[in-house]
Amino acid sequence: MSDIEPFVVPSFTPEQLALLKDKLSKPVFPNELEEDYGWEYGAPTWAVKPMATEWLENYDWEKPRAEMNRWKHYHTTIDGLKMHFVHEPSSNPDAIPIMLVHGWPSTFYEFHKVIEPLRDGANGGQAFHVVVPSLPGFGFSDPPKTRGYGVAKMAEILNSLMVKLGYSQYLLQGGDWGAIIGKYIATRYNTNCKAFHTGLPYCLPPLPTPRNLLFYPFKIAKFGASLLLGFDRVYGKGKLILNGATFANAELYNGCGYRAIQGTRPYTLAYGLTDSPLGLMAWMLEKFHEWTYHPPAKQDIQALPETISSEVFLTQVTLYWLTNTMSSSIRIYYECLRQKEMYKVVFPRVKIPVAVTAYAHDISRLPQDWLETATDLYQYSEYESGGHFPATEESELFTEDVQRFGKILHDKKIIQ
Amino acid sequence: MSIEPFEVPSISPERLALLKEKLKNAEYPNELEKDVGWTYGAPRWAVEPLVKAWLNDYNWETARAEMNRWHHYHVTIQGLRVHFIHEPSKSPDAIPLLLLNGWPSNFYEYHKVIEPLRDGANGGQAFHVVIPSLPGYGFSEAPKLTGHNVSKNGEIIHELMTAIGYNEYVTHGSDWGSMIGKWIAQERSAHCKAYHTVMPLCLPPLPTPTHLFSHPLKVLKFLASISLGFDTVYGKGHVRLKGRSFADVENDREAGYRGIQGTRPYTLAFGLTDSPVGLLAWMLEKFHNWTFHPSGSRDTVALPETISVDEFLTQVTIYWLTNTMSSSTRLYYEAFHDEKGMKDMMWNPVKIPTGVAYYPGEITKLAKEWLEASMNTVHYAEVSVGGHFPSLEVDELFVDDIQRFGKLIKTKKYIQ
């Protein structure tokens, strides 16, 4: 345990700040079509330019930095990599350990509104010992030095981190890559990971396996029917969002172009996203726009949803900029594609207790039937708002849902 | 339709200063510690020296003087200002030749062949040479509205030839020029009398009634190749066709750029426009991957020996100066969203005399039989060196091949 070193989120050096401001003050914008086509072609200048101006003129890193430094940060070396994490143990005697795992293009900061409520058992709900790591190659964690750091390697590192901190049993909450790595941990490290809470389960449908035939014959039949009659007819409109069920075939799902390029040529893409803060910010803005919940009337005419302030968004962007980690963060797509890891994630059944949240707008959604056959589903909630970053967009709903699941785990002694 | 002379401009002092400042303040991505060649994309060891050359050694004025040896013009067609080079020949036997480049290239791709083709070098066929910049490329205005797809480009380019005064002409194309040229060959066959390409795009001899009637053996052979494999049936290397579609990266790792450009060109464009390093790297990957390298050297060089640093940087500078990387990539979006149009172009035959020259570095290669089944192939050549940019890489061989095709067309009076 001796190599756990405290860490303080740093300020910009004067040189770093001058460089960022210099680059932001001399932007060259792309040419676009003369008519406004909303977000059809990607992030439009009318959305990017004001955000860039905001970043240059109004954004003050010191404010979120002070917020971040309210929590205790550390570095420790695991598998040769310096891993950053936040560790906020609870003073509540009933608290159970939780690891909150972010994805891309996010960071540990995604959880900034929920760390303290979860730690303190807000509203009389379950309390947690909160651990929030930065994935290798993201934020303040070192980037991997060699190839091969895909889902499997990251899962090993994250599980080792919890064990190293003394949490031999814990709940894992994850979205995006946190959900993918989380599911991998939930199926392969269930000695330590005792429960899994996510908004993005990656599961198979109810196929006619021996187990399913025995326990869920009706679900199998329903799935079969849905293949013939259509998913919406059988499961209800919007209950199944597969988006092509593809990792990187842009022909099946035109929202996965970023996975197509990040999964094959991360080096080439990285130059524009590293040398130009505008390039970086636009690349992230598209996701913070597209993957979040907007009231339908506002979807095409605003950049960020009302639930994410420009300060919160720019803090995420600045974390990537300051640490030069956009280039390393996107390489997880390459590693996962190259090793065909998605099969290893999707196929296995989760045998530990699972809680799934279906927010109003996320990149995929599965019917409860599928979750019940593929996991040990303890809790399922549907929400009328929130999207891909629920801890940021709907922090109270998120906290309450995690607490509800945590209480079951505590009371049933699933996590000691 | 008034045709206005145009001179390739200098770079204004302000813009040159901005370019140099951005190059000087370049921020580079982090990479893996070990050299992984080009497997993750363009590595820093390849990009950085070219960035330095661009900053310290490159002189636009040298290329500009060369470019201004030719006659440039602008003409407005369908509301867009289209740039073109027009070099009529002194030879009485000359025939009009339209040269169409693709992406990430521009008219400068032909800089070494304009004069030899115009003058009938080595006693070969002479041509009245016309080289347009596609709308959104080089010195042509960018399209203003959505929908500016391959057929729109074809319409405009044909109108250009008419505006110049050529009622009959021969079209040569590579990359997008190959597709646009094919459309012209199919839809403007009253005027385009012959079609030459280095990257023919057509379907194999599928078992349609027409094919079964005209080429039953070709159909059988193709069907056999589906199960036995292309190499077995057609001979090793005679068919190079990864991925069966436009943006299916799961099958073709090279297609990532099409995946992102075909779906979110706006978002991609910020990094490629604001950062000259981002732009250079994005183009370099193609100038590396798509060109012919003598065996063994591919992983350890940036450009092939056949393309000089100055040639490459001139192409990059044209994109930078005209701010056209953004508009040029939108052609992929328009084509990707023009499913019917693209399908028709692929399905429909080319009835006018067609010439194909295959260079070994070209990214796609189809069996000769396929070309013969779907196009009126009167000329077929396999060249021993050169790749996707043959007029840059092996200009003498390129000229020779075009001249032989031209002579054939002239002799057989396909064109007057």
pLDDT of residue B242: 67
Residues of chain B with C-beta less than 8 angstroms from the C-beta of A41? 264-266, 330, 333
User: Length of chain B in residues, anyone?
Assistant: 416
pLDDT mean over B167-194 = 97
Q: What percent of chain A has pLDDT over 70?
A: 100
Task: Give the pLDDT confidence of A400-415 residue by residue, as tens digits.
Answer: 999 999 999 999 999 9
Residue B405 near residue B194 (C-beta atoms within 8 A)? yes
Q: Does A303 touch chain B (CB under 8 A)?
A: no
The whole-model pTM stands at 0.96
Residues of chain B with C-beta less than 8 angstroms from the C-beta of A32? 266, 326
Residue A397, pLDDT above cutoff 70: yes
Q: Can the peptide bond before residue A105 be classed as cis, meaning omega within 30 degrees of 0?
A: yes
Q: Does A244 touch chain B (CB under 8 A)?
A: no
User: Which of the pair, B235 or A113, is modelled with greater confidence?
Assistant: A113
Q: Which of B36, B257, B336 sits opposite A261 (nearest CB)?
A: B257
Q: Does A282 touch chain B (CB under 8 A)?
A: yes
Task: Tell me the domains of chain B and their CATH numbers.
Answer: 1-416 (3.40.50.1820)
pLDDT of residue B212: 86
User: Which of the pair, B246 or A13, is modelled with greater confidence?
Assistant: A13
Query: By three-state DSSP, how is residue A113 classified?
Result: coil
pLDDT of residue B12: 97
Our CA-based measurement puts residue A332 at a distance from the nearest CA of chain B, in whole angstroms, of 12
CA A19 to chain centre: 29
pLDDT of residue B226: 85
Q: Does A30 touch chain B (CB under 8 A)?
A: yes
Residue A301, pLDDT above cutoff 70: yes
pLDDT mean over A326-342 = 96
Residues 3-32, chain B, touching A (beta carbon < 8 A):
18, 21-22, 25-32
DSSP-assigned letters across all residues of B120-167: TGGG---EEEEEEPPTTSTTSPPP-STT--HHHHHHHHHHHHHHHT-S
pLDDT of residue B371: 94
DSSP-assigned letters across all residues of A208-231: --HHHHHH-HHHHHHHHHHHHH-H
Contact call for B256 and A324, based on CB within 8 A: no
Q: Does A125 touch chain B (CB under 8 A)?
A: no
Alpha-carbon gap, residue B49 to A194, rounded angstroms: 52
Residue A176, pLDDT above cutoff 80: yes
Residues of chain B with C-beta less than 8 angstroms from the C-beta of A28? 18, 273-274, 323
Alpha-carbon separation of residue B56 from A44, A184, B46 (angstroms): 34, 50, 16
Residue A1, pLDDT above cutoff 80: no
Residue B159, pLDDT above cutoff 90: yes
Residue A2, pLDDT above cutoff 80: no
**B188: closest CA among B216, B211, B157, B215?**
B157
- Taking CA A18 as the corner, what is the angle to CA A14 and CA A24, rounded to the nearest 5 degrees? 150
Contact call for A42 and B265, based on CB within 8 A: yes
Q: Which helix (H) or strand (E) holds B74?
A: strand B72-77
Contact call for B266 and A23, based on CB within 8 A: no
Residue B225, pLDDT above cutoff 90: no
Our CA-based measurement puts residue A22 at a distance from the nearest CA of chain B, in whole angstroms, of 10
Q: What mean pLDDT, rounded, does chain A reach?
A: 96
Residue B243, pLDDT above cutoff 70: no
Contact call for A250 and B21, based on CB within 8 A: no
User: Catalytic annotation on A197?
Assistant: no
Query: By three-state DSSP, how is residue A160 classified?
Result: helix
pLDDT mean over A65-90 = 97
pLDDT of residue B244: 60
Residue B127 near residue B97 (C-beta atoms within 8 A)? yes
Alpha-carbon gap, residue A117 to A128, rounded angstroms: 9
pLDDT of residue A83: 98
pLDDT of residue A391: 98
In this structure, which amino acid lies at residue B20? K
* Residue of B249, B287, B299, B336 to mutate for A, most A C-beta atoms under 10 A: B249
Contact call for B248 and A280, based on CB within 8 A: no
Sequence-ordered strand ranges (E) for B153-288: 169-173, 192-197
Q: What mean pLDDT, rounded, does chain B reach?
A: 95
> Which is the catalytic residue, given A176, A362, A369, A401?
A176
Q: How many CA atoms lie within 13 A of B241 on its CB side?
A: 21
Q: What phi and psi values does residue A126 have, to the nearest 5 degrees?
A: -60, 140
User: Which of the pair, A323 or A247, is modelled with greater confidence?
Assistant: A323
pLDDT of residue B227: 85
Query: How many CB pairs lie under 8 A apart between chains A and B?
Result: 239
Q: Does A270 touch chain B (CB under 8 A)?
A: yes
Q: Which helix (H) or strand (E) holds A193?
A: strand A193-198
Residues of chain B with C-beta less than 8 angstroms from the C-beta of A283? 267-268, 270-271
CB atoms within 10 A of CB B411: 9
Residue of A nearest to B17 (CA): A26
Residues of chain A with C-beta less than 8 angstroms from the C-beta of B27? 19, 274-275, 324
Q: Which of A251, A254, A273 sits opposite B271 (nearest CB)?
A: A273
Contact call for A43 and B266, based on CB within 8 A: yes
User: Pairing mode, if any, of strands A73-78 and A81-88?
Assistant: antiparallel
User: Catalytic annotation on A320?
Assistant: no
Task: Give the pLDDT confidence of B280-324 residue by residue, as tens digits.
Answer: 999 999 999 999 998 778 888 999 999 999 999 999 999 999 999
Using CA atoms of B277, B282, B285, B290 in order, give the dihedral in degrees to the nearest 10. -140
Our CA-based measurement puts residue B42 at a distance from the nearest CA of chain A, in whole angstroms, of 5
* Cβ-based neighbours of B208, under 8 Å, separated by 6 or more: none
Task: Give the pLDDT confidence of B331-351 residue by residue, as tens digits.
Answer: 999 999 999 999 999 999 999
